[in-house]
Amino acid sequence: MEREDREVLLCPICGCDQCVLPAGVPDIGSAEADTVLFCSVCGGEFTKGQMQAVQWSSASADLSAVEQEVLRQLEEQMNASFS
């Protein structure tokens, strides 16, 4: 039950955890930053490095760059509709 130590990387596109490692890579921990993974949910293709840059589900209060961008766009839309 050492699951806390496991590196959990989520799809940077849809945020799911159903990303498929390429053949020859037994687990995410042994993947290189430029290892290309595929998402079995949205079909996205991205590298481990990209996944690491987007930490959707980290329990910390830090918002990922994507989340910040989404929030910023939402804010802009709000501002636009109220002005």
Single residue of 28, 44, 53, 66 touching Zn ion by CB under 5 A: 44
Q: Using the minimum distance from each CB to Zn ion, give the nearer residue, 49 or 77.
A: 49
Please classify residue 47 by burial: count the beta carbons closer than 10 Å to its beta carbon, then call 0-12 exposed, 13-18 middle and 19+ buried.
middle
Single residue of 21, 25, 41, 53 touching Zn ion by CB under 5 A: 41
Q: Does 67 participate in binding Zn ion (rule CB under 5 A)? A: no
SS3 string of 48-61? Answer: HHHHHHCCCCCCCC
Which residues form the interface with Zn ion (CB under 5 A)?
11, 13-14, 16, 39, 41-42, 44
